[in-house]
Amino acid sequence: MIDISNLHTGLYIGGDWHDGQETFTTHNPATGQPLAELAAAGASDVDAAVDAAESAFRGDWGALAPSRKGVLLNTLADLVERDVERLAALESIDMGRPVGMGAAMMIPNLIASLRYYAGWADKINGDLIANDGYMGGPAPTHAYTRREALGVVATIVPWNAPLMILGWKLAPALACGNTVIIKPAEDASLSILHLAELVTEAGFPPGTVNVLPGLGKVAGEALALHPRVAKISFTGSTETGRAILRNSATNFKRTALELGGKAPQIIFDDADLDAAIQGTAMGLFFNQGEVCAAGTRILAHRKVYDAVIDGLKGAAQVQVVGDPFDAATTMGPLVNERQRDRVLDYMKIGVGEGADVITGGSAPEGPGYFVEPTVLAGTNEMTVAREEIFGPVGVVVPFDTDEEAITLANDNQYGLSATVWTNDLSRAHTVSARVEAGAVGVNGWSPLAPQLPWGGVKASGIGRELGYEGILAYTETKTVTIVL
Which residues are marked as active site?
A: 258, 292
Q: Is 236 in the site for ligand NAD (CB under 6 A)?
A: yes
DSSP-based three-state secondary structure for 217: helix
Q: Provide the 8-state DSSP code for 204.
A: P
Q: Is the distance from CB of 321 to CB of 329 less than 8 angstroms?
A: yes
How many residues are there in the chain? 484
Question: For ligand NAD, which residue of 69, 86, 115, 183 counts as binding (CB under 6 A)?
Answer: 183
Site string for ligand NAD, 274-313 (x = CB under 6 A): ------------------x---------------------
Q: Is 105 in the site for ligand NAD (CB under 6 A)?
A: no
For residue 181, CA distances in Å to 61, 308, 311, 432 come to: 14, 45, 45, 37
Residue 110 CA to residue 433 CA, distance in Å, equals: 30
Question: For ligand NAD, which residue of 26, 160, 288, 319 counts as binding (CB under 6 A)?
Answer: 160
* Nearest distance in Å: CB 243, ligand NAD: 4
* Nearest distance in Å: CB 465, ligand NAD: 8
Q: Which amino acid, residue 157? A: V
Q: Is 412 in the site for ligand NAD (CB under 6 A)?
A: no
Q: Is 216 in the site for ligand NAD (CB under 6 A)?
A: yes
Among 56-64, 79-87, 88-96, 258-266, the segment contacting ligand NAD (CB under 6 A): 258-266
Q: Is 259 in the site for ligand NAD (CB under 6 A)?
A: yes
Residue 202 CA to residue 477 CA, distance in Å, equals: 30
Which residues, at least 6 apart from 141, have a Cβ–Cβ distance to it below 8 Å? 131, 133, 134, 481, 482, 483, 484
Question: For ligand NAD, which residue of 57, 61, 117, 159 counts as binding (CB under 6 A)?
Answer: 159
Among 139-147, 217-225, 359-367, 473-481, the segment contacting ligand NAD (CB under 6 A): 217-225
Q: Is 94 in the site for ligand NAD (CB under 6 A)?
A: no
* Nearest distance in Å: CB 157, ligand NAD: 6
Residue 55 CA to residue 61 CA, distance in Å, equals: 9
Site string for ligand NAD, 50-79 (x = CB under 6 A): ------------------------------
C-beta closer to ligand NAD: residue 96 or 177: 96
Question: For ligand NAD, which residue of 76, 89, 244, 466 counts as binding (CB under 6 A)?
Answer: 244
Question: For ligand NAD, which residue of 142, 217, 228, 478 counts as binding (CB under 6 A)?
Answer: 217
Residue 299 CA to residue 313 CA, distance in Å, equals: 15
- Orientation angle between helical segments 66-82 and 107-120, nearest 10 degrees: 170
CA 298, distance to chain mean position in Å, is 22
Question: For ligand NAD, which residue of 54, 83, 258, 436 counts as binding (CB under 6 A)?
Answer: 258
Residue 432 CA to residue 302 CA, distance in Å, equals: 20
Nearest CA among 127, 168, 129, 131 for reference residue 147: 127
Total site size for ligand NAD, rule CB under 6 A: 30
Which residues, at least 6 apart from 299, have a Cβ–Cβ distance to it below 8 Å? 264, 265, 266, 267, 380, 397, 398, 399, 405, 408, 409
* Nearest distance in Å: CB 146, ligand NAD: 30
CA 149, distance to chain mean position in Å, is 22
List contacts with ligand NAD (CB under 6 A): 156-160, 165, 183, 185-186, 216-217, 220-221, 224, 235-237, 240, 243-244, 258-261, 292, 388, 390, 416, 456, 461
